[in-house]
Structure 1
Amino acid sequence: MTSKSTPPPLPEPLRVPVADSHTHLDMQAGTVEEALERAAAVGVATVVQVGCDLKGSHWAARTAAEHANVHAAVALHPNEAPRIVHGDPDNWSRQGTAREAGGEAALDEALAEIDALAALPQVRAVGETGLDTFRTGPGGVAAQERSFRAHIEIAKRHGKALVIHDREAHADVLRILAEEGAPERTIFHCFSGDAEMARECAAAGYYMSFAGNVTFKNAAPLRDALVVAPRELVLVETDAPFLTPAPYRGRPNAPYLIPVTLRAMAAVKGLDEDTLAAAIAANTATAFDY
């Protein structure tokens, strides 16, 4: 019996190389070099390493500077902003306005650090930023929105792509993008909307990046969204070590598993894998301007 901790086997290599548009190498076992070698062996030639906090964003920028086939995205994750402003969520109700005032200054300092990182040439995107009402309750909404709006401004000022984390907040994410004016290149990481949202994103020219959960049995609405999503706006990602595609769900994810998800996506869209891979490779290079 295979252990849940056992990495899945390498899939058959893609004939057309693609990029993993969203991964977290710093959260995966092994070295960066090992991860990139396994990915390259199956046709995953490029990865976008995504930061979720200051430490991770600095790591992403440094790793991208050291590896030509790694590009960085830097940001404070939506759930990081409330932690900076309010501290431990369990104590929000007891901390009062004094902590919040000091926390807002700390958030401004953290955002200034992200702004400085976003100016670096190896940093191709600002993200993942956005809104998450699944893990953060009503008390954290204001901090999330403030951080999201600041990240949008940083991305536009530096001419970088914006990588969106949207969990159970579709309408508010779309509203804020409309209010602030979205950057020219905006990517919904781990797209989680339905077909109607896919139509809205397509109309706005937003890229939609699909992860391993598009292969899950209960993900029919997500597959419906993929059918609607225009080929020229579709990306593929692992979000590794999370969202390992079927039939390996629950085991460690890594960039080398991109072919599994891409082949499932090709079947959903009624395309051969080479055609979809070529489109995704071109879309990712355009979205991240590399």
Structure 2
Amino acid sequence: MANIPAFKLNDGNEIPSFGFGVFQIPADGTTYKAVSDALKLGYRHIDTAAAYFNEQEVGKAINDSGIPRDQIWVTSKMWLQDYAYEDAKKAIDTSLNKLGLDYMDLYLLHQPYGKVDEAWRALEEAQKAGKIRSIGVSNMSPKLWKKWAPSFNVTPAVNQVEFNPYFQQQELRDVLADSHVALEAWAPLGEGNQDLFNEPVLKSLAEKYGKDVGQIILRYEHQLGVIVFPKSVHEARIKSNAEIFDFELTSDEMDALRKLDKGKGMHDPDAPGVADTLLNAFDIHAND
């Protein structure tokens, strides 16, 4: 795999701009194998979460890889059930224990509802204590960002949100740019949306560069400065997803892909009822 460029965060840390996500990969050995494969193929950035229930297998794959710890960027996320201050402190230690690591490179508040201010204070303290290198948020719309971020002592280093050519988050990117907050994409390939994959402009670029449509999409996002981590359990796909560093889209091609933006995604963090639904989604500690 080509050397993956790093992006500099607003706290001075450098994050690999391309990584591997494990959302919805089961913890029955599948996560362990997928992460092991990704690391063997040259990935050095793994994104998990307490609510994915696979932190343990991620940590085992990292610890078994033989790769020096400081060469792998590890992200996890706190579930909103744990946002009360004392619970949040415990949740950070639980993630570290499950991962089998002394520190996490990035830890995010997974959803922007409930006792966000208390949870964020716990993250700030854990960062000072060296348990987390960078701290950030996830699923914050412009409205939610403006509600919470101004009261934080430490500005989040990243905001991880839905992002793909159909939903390019222009308003949010403008808001985040002021504080140099990096945007990370979940669903960078639109969760395999067939309409997106059949867009003529993407198909013709794939033909021109001898790439597949997924690689064109990921290259576009990379050139926009968005951090991406597509997920797959298939070794060939894990390999091909990362083969986006040997070509560059022209500024005209970038402009053409900007026009695919529909301005809305599958998930609306501001929709009524979303907070309640997520707060009651499941019990993260059911198996503890």
The whole-number CA distance in structure 2 between the counterparts of 1:57 and 1:35 is: 11
The whole-number CA distance in structure 2 between the counterparts of 1:208 and 1:109 is: 27
Partner residue of 1:213? 190
Amino acid at match of 1:37: D
Give 1:199 deviation, angstroms. 1.8
Q: Could you tell me which of 29, 48, 51 is aligned with 2:49?
A: 51
Amino acid at match of 1:45: Y
The whole-number CA distance in structure 2 between the counterparts of 1:112 and 1:121 is: 9
The whole-number CA distance in structure 1 between the counterparts of 2:175 and 2:50 is: 26
Residue pair 2:107, 2:135 contacting (<8 A) in 1 also: yes
Unaligned runs of 5+ in 1: 1-13, 86-103, 133-140, 242-250, 273-290
* CA distance 1:54–1:31, change in 2 (3 Å): closer
Residue pair 2:58, 2:99 contacting (<8 A) in 1 also: no
The whole-number CA distance in structure 1 between the counterparts of 2:46 and 2:56 is: 14
TM-score (norm 2): 0.51
The whole-number CA distance in structure 2 between the counterparts of 1:253 and 1:52 is: 27
Partner residue of 2:150? 178
* CA distance 1:268–1:195, change in 2 (3 Å): farther
TM-score (norm 1): 0.50
Give 1:186 deviation, angstroms. 2.7
Residue pair 1:126, 1:163 contacting (<8 A) in 2 also: yes
The whole-number CA distance in structure 2 between the counterparts of 1:15 and 1:112 is: 34
Residue pair 2:158, 2:184 contacting (<8 A) in 1 also: no
Compare relative contact order (CA 8 Å, sep 6+) and give the higher one, 1 or 2. 1
Residue pair 2:56, 2:98 contacting (<8 A) in 1 also: yes
Instruction: Report the number of matched residues.
Output: 211
Describe the SS at the equivalent of 1:181.
Answer: coil
Deviation per residue, 1:10-34 (Å, 9 max, x gap) = xxxx655466435118825746356
* CA distance 1:118–1:57, change in 2 (3 Å): closer
The whole-number CA distance in structure 1 between the counterparts of 2:89 and 2:60 is: 23
Equivalent positions of 1:148-187 (< 5 A) are: 148-155=120-127, 157-158=129-130, 160-166=133-139, 169-183=141-155, 185-187=157-159
Equivalent positions of 1:196-275 (< 5 A) are: 196-210=171-185, 211-213=188-190, 216=193, 217=195, 233-239=225-231, 255-259=238-242, 262=244, 267=249
Amino acid at match of 2:179: A
* CA distance 1:15–1:107, change in 2 (3 Å): closer
* CA distance 1:148–1:48, change in 2 (3 Å): same
Residue pair 1:117, 1:123 contacting (<8 A) in 2 also: no
Unaligned runs of 5+ in 2: 6-15, 203-217, 255-288
Partner residue of 2:10? none
Higher helix share: 1
Q: Could you tell me which of 72, 77, 80 is aligned with 2:79?
A: 77
Residue pair 1:189, 1:208 contacting (<8 A) in 2 also: yes
Amino acid at match of 1:212: L
The whole-number CA distance in structure 2 between the counterparts of 1:109 and 1:122 is: 14
What is the CA RMSD across the aligned residues, in angstroms? 5.0
